Structure 1
Amino acid sequence: MPHSSSSRLRELSRRDYLRRRIKKKAREIVSQELGQRLPELVNELIDSAAEIHKNEDGYRIPVSYDAVGAVDQARRFACASQRDGDHHRDQDGRTEYELWERNQISRATTFGAEDTTLFIPIKAKGEIHETRAEPMLSKLRKDRRALPIYRYREEFLRAVADYQVLVIVGETGCGKTSQIPQFLYKAGYTNHGKKIGCTQPRRVAAMSVATRVSNEMGVKLGNEVGYSIRFEERCSEKTLIKYMTDGILLKEFLRSPNLSDYSVIMLDEAHERTVSTDILLGLLKDITRFRSDLKLIVSSATLDAKRFSEFFDLAPVFTIPGRPYPIEVHYLQAPVPDYVDAAIVTILAVHVKEALPGDILVFLTGQEEIEAVSDLLRHRTRNLGTKISEMIICPVYANLPTELQTLIFQPTPHGARKVVLATNIAETSLTVEGITYVVDSGFAKIKSYSPRLGMESLVISSISRASADQRAGRSGRTGPGKCFRLYTRHSYDHNMEANTLPEIQRTNLANVVLTLKSLGINDLVNFDFMDAPPAEALLRALEQIYALNALDNHGNLTKMGQRMSEFPLDPMLSKMIVASEKYKCSEEIITIVSMMSLGNAVFYQPKDRKIHADNARRSFYAGDVGDHIALMNVYNAWKESNFSAAWCYENYVQLRSMRRARQIRDQLEVIMQRVEIEKTSNPNDHDAIKKAIVSGFFQNSAKLLKSGLYQTAKNSQTVFLHPSSGFAQKTAPTWVVYHELVLTTKEYMRGITKVRPEWLHEIAPHYFRSQ
C-alpha cells in the first residue's frame, strides 16, 4: 500500500479513536454527576466531538524529529519547541511554560500576601499568628469552642492538679481525645522536657487524632505533636504530645520501667479493653504508687467508670455532660428475622423520606454482608431513575484497597446522599464528615480463642450496649442526628451485655506472657488484672513459649526469649527471625514475616475480574511453594519492579499493603541489628527457609489422612485447607505447618507450607515423641 494511503488511514483511525474517547468520557461524567457544572461540561465535550468531525484535518500525528535516513536538527528543535508551547504565545511573546514559571515564582515571592491560604505562619513555640487568610484555622478554633469539654476546661485542670488519678467519662464526640492533651500542654505539664502520652486502641485513631491536634495547634506533625504506632513513627526530640497505640506504650516499659519521660499518661477509649490496655492498667496502677509526680487519666465513653474508679483505689470520676448535637434513637416495634433485609429497607426509607443533605452510616458484620447489601441497593434503585435522589454507596472494610476506602471521606455532591457500609471499625476509629443517620444492625464479628484447641473463631454475635451507644454517637458529630436500631428496646435493655467481653479473656496470651516476663513479672497468676484471664489460657501460653525455648525450666526468660521479646510480633514469628540466623536466610524470613503481618490484605479480587485476579495470584505459586514463600515471591517481584504502583495494579496486589510491608521490613532490620542478628540471604535454598519457618511453627503441624483431611500432630484435631491457600488447587502435601487455625464455616488452616516430617523431630525433639 502506498505511503500516503497508510498515513491517511492512520489519521482517520486517530480521529475515530478520539471521537469515541470523548463520548466515553462524557458518559463517565454523566454517571458520576459532577455537581452543577455537569450539563455545561457535557455540552462542551459534545461540541468538541462535533467540531472534530467537521474538521478535515482532525487529529494529526506528531511530526517525527528526523527525516527518513538522516538527522534533521532544525526540524528536531522545531518539534521540541512546538511541544513546549512556542506556538502559543501571549501578546508579549511569552510561551505557556514561561507564563507558568513566572506565575510560580511570583507566588513564591509573594508568600504571605495574596496566596497565604496555602500556608500557615507559625511562631517559635507553636502558637499561630492571626492573619486575614486563615479560614481553616478559624473553623478549627470555632469547632473547638463548640465542644462540650471546652466549657469545663478550668474545672478539669483543677481536678488534675488535685488528684493523681482521674477517670473521665464523656459522650462520644465531646472532645476528650483531642482537647485534654492540649489543655495539659497549655497548663505547663510539658515543662522540663516531660511528655504527655495518649494511648489509642487502634493505630488509625492515633494517626488521625495526632494530625487533627497538630492542625489545631498550628504545628507540623512530628514536631510538638507526633504519633507512634507499630512499625511507624512520626516523632522527634521536640515532641511533647505523643499519641500512640497502647502496645507501643507497653514496649516503652521495657526501656523505661517507670516512664520517666512522661508527666501525664492518658489511657483513651479504655472501655474497649484491649489486651494491651488491660496490662497497662495493672502496670500504671503500680507505677502511680511510687511516682507521685505522674498524672494518670483514664478516659471512657461509657458508664462503666465505676469499675475503673474502684480499680484505682476509688479514684474520682470527672463527668463531661452533653454531646455536640442531639441524637434521636429509634427502635423496631418487633424483632425481624433478617437484619440484612431490614437494613436495606431502612436505608431506602431514610433516603426517600429524610431531607438532604445527610449521609447514612450502616454497621454490618463483614465483607460478605457489605457486598450483598451494596448489590441489593443498586438492584432496587436501578429502575427508579430520577424519582429519587442519587445514592452513592461507599463500602469500607479491612481488605478493601485504600483508594476505595478513601471514597468515604470525599464530599458528597450536591443533591446526592452517601451511604457508607462499614464494619465495627467505624465505631471509634473513623469520623466521616456529613454523617447524619446511623443504621445499627446490632451485630458484629467477635474474635475468640480456644486455648484447648489453639484455634481462633470469628463468630457473628450481638454487640454490647456500650458498642450500641458508640455507634449511635457517630450520627451526632457534625449536626443533629438519628440512629435507627434494627432491634427492639427490650433487646437493648435485657438481652445485650453492658460491655463487650474483655479481649484478654478471649485471646491467645502467648505474647502477653512473653511481654510480662520481659518486664520482670514472673508471678502471672497474682498480677493485678482488672479482669483476670482464664487459668487455662495462661497455662497454654506458658507451654507455648516454653516449647519455643523462650523460658527455662524455672520459668525464667532465656537469652532466646529476651531476643524474641524485642520484636513487636507474635512469639512464633519472633522465633522464626531468631532461628533464621542459623539457616543463613534472615533476609528472606523478615520479608515473609512483614508480609504475614498484613493478614489477608495482600491480594484484591474485584468481582468483575475474578479470573484475572486468580491467574495473577497463581503465578506466585509456581512450582511446589507454599503460602509463605509465595508471599516472599510477591514482595521480591514488587522490589524488582522498583516498588512500582503500576505493577501492583496489574497483579491485583494492594499497593498500600505492600508499602506497609516495606515499612515493617525496614523496622525489623533495625531491631535485628539491636539484637545482633546477622543479615544473611539464601533465596534459592527453599529448604533452609522452610526450616526457619518450622522453627517457629512446629507446634502448628498437621498430617494428611487417607480420608483426604488433615489431623493436627499434637491434638489430633481434624482441620481443612483454607480456600485461599495455594495448595487448595494443587495436590495436597502429606505434612504441613500452618500460621493459624481459624474457625469460620470449618476449622481452616491458614498460611501453609509443605515440610518433611524429619524436620519436625530435628528442630523440636523436645516437643515430638519419636514415632
Structure 2
Amino acid sequence: NNHADLSLMNQRKRLPIFQYRNHILYLLEKHNVLIIVGETGSGKSTQVPQYLVESGWTEKGKHGCLITQPRRVAAVTLATRVAEERGSLLGGEVGYGIRFDDCFDPRETVIKFVTDGVLLREMMSDPLLKKYNVVIVDEAHERSINTDMCMGLLKKIQRKRQDLRIIISSATISAEFFKDFFTIKNAGKSQDNVGVLSVEGRNYPIEVFYSSDPVPDYVKATVETVLQIHRHEGDGDILVFLTGQDEVRTAVRLLIDDLRSRGQDKKKYLKVLPFYSGLHEKEQFKVFERVSRNTRKVIVATNVAETSVTIEGVTFVVDCCFVKLKVYNPSSGIESLIVCPASQASLEQRAGRAGRCRNGKVYRLCPEKEAMSLEKTTPPEMQRSNLMSVILQLKALGVDNVLRFHFISPPPAQCMVRGLELLFALGALDQNGNLTSPLGVTMAEFPLNPMFVKMLLESEKFDCSSEIVTIVAMLQVRDVAIFPTNERGKAAMEHRKFAVAQGDHFTLLNIYDCFINEGNKTKKWCEKYYLNYKALKRAVKIRENLCKYMNRFKVAVQPAQSDISKIQRCIVSGFFANAARLHHDGSYRGLHNDVTLHIHPSSVLIAEKYPPKFLVFNEILETSKMFMRDVTLVEPDWLHELAPHFYEFGTQHEVYSKRIK
C-alpha cells in the first residue's frame, strides 16, 4: 500500500472512487438499479458499502448491505479490509459468509460480504431478502453461474420490493448489457429505473511484450521469464498468471529449485508465493504482506488474482495467455476442466495489474497476432455448465417453469433437458418436473452437488453414514497429499501406506481416520506422512458442518461399520451416472456415452496390476486425455439394482445405459 503511512481516512480519500461518492448516493436515491463500471483497484468493492452505511441506508429500522463475490478469497479479504477501515472487529459491524464458514453477528453486522452461492442459500429462507436494503453484486463481468442466477432472481425480487436497491459492479465495459437486462419495460416503453456510473481508475502507462514464436511449454517459459525480469529489470513485484493449482505449484517449485542452485542475490532477494483459491487463508494473506526493500515478491497465481483482489506493488505481469474453464457437453454428459486460450478481455484485465503504482510491463507468452485473434470475452459459465444445481435451486425457490426463467444469458436447451433428466434419475424431480418430497426438497437445502447430497441422504439406508460424511468432506478439499521438492519418491511411498484396493474414496477415508485416531489431528503426524495438515483440518470442519445438516434433516450419523460393499453401493447411489467399464485396449468407456476415459495418474488404482472392470468417478479433467478423478471400483449388478431407470442388462448379461423417457 503506497499510502500505508497515512491515516485510514486519508487512504480512503485517495482512492479514485472517493470523488464519485455523492454521485453514487444521488443515483441510488433516483434509481432502483445502479451499474458502476470501474477497474479493480478503484476502491468500489470496499468503499461503496461504507458510503451506504455513512449515509444512513442501514439506520432507523433499515437493514444491512449485502455484497456478493464470486470467490471465497475475495469475500474474506474484502471483509477483513473493510472491518479494519471501520475500526471494528471482523464479525461485528462487518462480517462475511462463505460455504462452511460464517463470521458475522445477525444483530450487529450491517455490511456482509458473501459468495454468490451463499446469497442463493439466503434466498431459500428469505425469498424477498427482507433483511437487506441494498444488495451489491460485485465482479458481475465474470459471469459465474451463481452470479447470473443472483441477477435473474434479484430482478424478480425487485418487482415485489420497490424499496430494494441493487448495485451491479463490473470491471469491464458491459454497462449497456446489464442496463438492458434490468430496465423495466411496460407496453413497449422503458422506465428510467437504471442508472449507470463509470469510475476512472488510476493506471500508469503499460508496455506489452509478446513472444516472437509460440511457446511449447508455457510453465517453463513463465519461470524463465520471471528469472530474466528479476535479474535485469528494476524494482517492482511480479505477478504470474497460470491456469491451475498444479501449474502454480510446479512453477513455484521450479523457481525455488533455480534459486537454490544458483543462490540468491543478497542485494535483491526473490520471495516466491503461490496464490489460488484452494490455498489456506493464512497462506493467501502472505501475498498482501509488505516485504523489505531488498526483496521482490513473485506471486504465482491462477485467475483468482485477475479480479476481486488488488495486490499492491505489482509492476510486472507474466501472462501465459491460457485459462482453465469448466465445460459441459450435454450430449455426452461429461463436465470437463479444459485448458484453453484466454479471452482478450481477460488479457486486458490481467495487464491492468501492472500499472497500479508506477509504469508497468506485461509479458504475454504468445505471438501478438495470436493474441489479437482471441475471442473478445469468455463465454458465461451458465452456457457451458451442468445445470443440475441451477434447476434444483430454482425449483426450491418456487420457479416452477425453469425454461421461462429470465436468465441474463439463456443456457442451451440441451443442457436444461440433460439437467432435468439427471435430477429425475436422482429422484429429486417427479415425472411432472416438480420437486419430490422429502428427497428433492431436502437435496436443495445442501450447499453441494446433488450427487453428493443423494449419497449423504442414502447413507443411513446403507448403514454407512459416518463413512460417507467423511468421504464427502474429504472430496471438498484438494491437495491432501504433498509432494515436496527432492522427496517426491519418498512421499509417494508414504502415501501408498494409506492406499485401499477399492479406490480413491476409501483411501481418503483411511487418511482421515488415521489423522483423527493415530495422528490425533497433529501437524507432526502429517509431516511424517507428507500430508497437508491445513487441508485435513479444513476437512474436519467441513465434516462437522455436514453433520449439522444431516441432524437438521434427521439423518442419523451412525458409528462406523467398516462394511466396504455397503459404502461402495452408497457411492453408486449418487454417482451411477458417472460409470465406466474397462475396454480391451486398456482404456475405459463411459457407460452412458461411450467416451474414451483414463484413470488419473494421481489415483491409487493407476498402479493396480489388474484394473477394475467397472468403476464410478467424481469428475473428468481433460488435458492430454480425458482423466477420471476420484475413482472407486463397483459391480455392474449394483448399477442396475440402484439405478434401474438408468441402466439395463443386455442379452449377454452386460449392463447398458438407457435413455430416460
Map 1:320-359; keep pairs closer than 5 Å: 320-332=198-210, 334=212, 336-338=214-216, 343-344=222-223, 346-356=225-235, 358-359=236-237
Distance 2:13 2:259 in 1: 43
Q: Could you tell me how far apart the structure 1 residues matched to 2:234 and 2:618 are?
A: 50
| One-letter code aligned to 2:598 | F
Pairwise mapping of residues 15-30 of structure 1 onto structure 2 (< 5 A)? none
Contact in 2 for aligned 1:454/1:741 (Cα 8 Å): no
Work out the CA distance in 1 between the residues paired with 2:278 and 2:99: 19
In structure 2, the partner of 1:510 is 388
Q: CA distance change for structure 1 residues 316 and 469 in 2, over 3 Å: closer, same or farther?
A: farther
Q: Deviations over 1:88-110 (max 9, x none)?
A: xxxxxxxxxxxxxxxxxxxxxxx
- The residue number in structure 2 matching 1:47 is none
Which residue in 2 is equivalent to 1:158? 26
1:183 to 30, 33, 51: 51
C-alpha contact (below 8 Å) 1:398/1:601 kept by paired residues = no
Structure 2, unpaired ranges of 5+:
184-191, 651-661
Could you tell me whether the CA contact under 8 Å between 2:314 and 2:354 is conserved in 1? yes
Report 1:452-531 matches (<5 A): 452-487=331-366, 491-492=370-371, 494-531=372-409
Bigger Cα displacement from structure 2, 539-548 vs 339-348: 339-348
- Given the superposition, is the C-alpha separation of residues 352 and 153 from structure 1 closer, same or farther in structure 2, using an over 3 Å criterion? same
Deviation at 1:611, TM superposition (A): 1.8
Task: Mark the CA change 1:354 to 1:142 in structure 2 (over 3 Å): closer, same or farther.
Answer: farther
Q: Which residue in 2 is equivalent to 1:568? A: 447
Give the corresponding residue for 2:181.
311
| 2:220–2:251 contact (8 Å) kept in structure 1 | no
Match of 1:170 in 2: 38
Higher RCO, 1 vs 2 (CA within 8 Å, ≥6 residues apart): 2
* Aligned equivalent of 1:206: 75
Once the two structures are superposed, the pairs formed by residues 301-700 of structure 1 within 5 Å of their partners are 301-313=171-183, 316-332=194-210, 334=212, 336-338=214-216, 343-344=222-223, 346-356=225-235, 358-367=236-245, 369-370=247-248, 371-372=250-251, 375=254, 379=258, 389-397=268-276, 407-487=286-366, 491-492=370-371, 494-559=372-437, 560-598=439-477, 600-622=478-500, 624-640=501-517, 641-700=519-578
TM-score, normalised with respect to structure 2: 0.90
**Residues 73, 281 of structure 2: 8 Å contact kept:** no
Letter in 2 for 1:566: E
Query: Hey, what's the Cα distance between the residues in 2 that align with 1:376 and 1:637?
Result: 34
Q: Which residue of 2 aligns with 1:85?
A: none
Alpha-carbon separation, structure 1, partners of 2:444 and 2:262? 59
| Alignment deviations for residues 532-587 of structure 1 (CA, whole Å, 9 cap, x no partner) | 11111111111111001111111110011111111111010000011012112212
Residue type of the partner of 1:303?
I
**Matched letter for residue 677 of structure 1:** V
Q: 1:259 to 1:408 in 2, by over 3 A?
A: closer
Greater alpha carbon shift after TM alignment, 509-518 vs 426-435: 426-435
User: Residue 514 of structure 2 aligns to which amino acid in structure 1?
Assistant: A
1:762 to 628, 641, 644: 641
d(CA) in 1 for partners of 2:460 and 2:253? 49
Q: Hey, what's the Cα distance between the residues in 1 that align with 2:134 and 2:259? A: 53
Deviations 1:254-300 (A, max 9, x none): 11111111100000000000101111111111111221110000000
1: CA distance, partners of 2:255 / 2:130? 56
* Letter matched to residue 564 of structure 2: H
Deviation at 1:748, TM superposition (A): 1.8
How far apart are residue 335 of structure 1 and its match? 5.1
The structure with the greater share of residues assigned to helix is: 1
Q: Take 1:686 and 1:637, find their aligned partners in 2: how far apart are those partners?
A: 17
Quick check: 159-168 or 710-719, which moved more? 710-719
**Partner-residue secondary structure (3-state), 2:404:** coil
Shift of 1:168: 0.5
Tell me, yes or no, if the aligned pair for 1:327 and 1:483 is still in contact at 8 Å.
no
Unaligned runs of 5+ in 1: 1-134
Give, as a single letter, the amino acid of the residue that structure 2 aligns with 1:165: V
CA displacement at 1:433 relative to structure 2: 3.6
SS at match of 2:555: coil
Q: What is the DSSP-based 3-state SS (H/G/I as helix, E as strand, rest coil) of the residue aligned with 2:210?
A: coil
Rounded to whole Å, the distance in 1 between the matches of 2:579 and 2:603 is 16
- Listed one character per residue, the Cα deviations across residues 133-161 of structure 1 (whole Å, up to 9, x for unaligned) are xx979542222111011111111111111
User: What CA distance in whole angstroms lies between the structure 2 residues aligned with 1:562 and 1:758?
Assistant: 29
Counterpart CA distance in 2 for 1:487 and 1:254 is 46
| Residue number in structure 1 paired with 2:617 | 738
Q: Displacement of 1:432 after TM fit? A: 3.1
Contact residue 203 and residue 352 of structure 2 kept, 8 A: no
Is 1:224 aligned with 2:93?
yes
Once the 2 structures are TM-superposed, how far is the Cα of residue 438 of structure 1 from its aligned partner?
1.6
Q: Deviations over 1:109-149 (max 9, x none)?
A: xxxxxxxxxxxxxxxxxxxxxxxxxx979542222111011
d(CA) in 2 for partners of 1:631, 1:348: 38
- In the aligned structure 2, how far is the partner of 1:203 from the partner of 1:594? 17
Partners of 1:514 and 1:385 lie apart in 2 by: 54
Q: Is 1:325–1:477's contact at 8 Å kept on the other side of the alignment?
A: yes
- The residue that corresponds to 2:102 in the other structure is 233
Structure 2 distance, partners of 1:384, 1:391, is 10
**Native 8 Å contact 1:364 1:422 kept in 2:** yes
Query: For 1:289, what is the secondary structure of its paired residue?
Result: helix
Counterpart CA distance in 2 for 1:179 and 1:403 is: 24
> Which segment drifts farther, 373-382 or 466-475?
373-382
Mark the CA change 1:651 to 1:401 in structure 2 (over 3 Å): closer, same or farther: farther
Instruction: Give the whole-Å Cα distance in 2 for the aligned partners of 1:254 and 1:434.
Output: 42
Superposition CA RMSD, Å: 2.5
Could you give the per-residue CA deviations for residues 293-337 of structure 1, whole angstroms, max 9, x where no partner exists? Answer: 100000000011110011111754433433234242323385544
Q: Please give the secondary structure, in 2, of the residue aligned with 1:652.
A: coil
**Greater Rg by CA:** 1
Which shifted more, 235-244 or 315-324?
A: 315-324
Shift of 1:527: 1.1
Q: CA deviation at 1:227?
A: 0.3
Say if 1:463 and 1:496, in contact at 8 Å, map to a contact too. yes
Whether the 8 Å contact between 2:32 and 2:194 is mirrored in structure 1 is no
Report if the CA contact (8 A) 1:518-1:557 is conserved.
yes
**Paired residue type of 2:204:** P
Q: Secondary structure at the match of 1:681?
A: coil
Deviation at 1:401, TM superposition (A): 7.1
Flag the 1:322–1:378 CA change in 2: closer, same or farther, 3 A. Answer: farther
Q: Is the 8 A contact 1:336 1:342 kept in 2?
A: no
Residue 728 of structure 1: aligned partner: 606
Compute the displacement of 1:530 (Å).
Answer: 1.2
Whether contact under 8 Å (2:463, 2:561) holds in the other structure is: no
Letter in 1 for 2:605: F
Question: Kindly tell me: are residues 269 and 617 of structure 1, through their superposed partners in 2, closer, same or farther at Cα, counting changes over 3 Å?
Answer: same
Question: Partner amino acid for 1:769?
Answer: E
Secondary structure in 2 matching 1:608: coil
* Consecutive aligned runs of 4 or more in structure 1 exceeding 6 Å deviation: 399-404
For the residues of structure 1 that align with 2:526 and 2:334, how far apart are their CA atoms?
Answer: 33
SS at 2:160 equivalent? coil
**Contact persistence 1:324–1:479 (CA under 8 A):** no
- 1:211 and 1:196 map into 2 onto residues whose CA distance is 16
- Name 1:64's counterpart in structure 2: none
CA drift of 1:389 comes to: 3.4
CA-CA distance at 1:391 after TM superposition: 3.0
Contact kept in structure 2, 1:166 and 1:318, CA below 8 Å? yes
Indicate the SS of the match to 1:581: coil
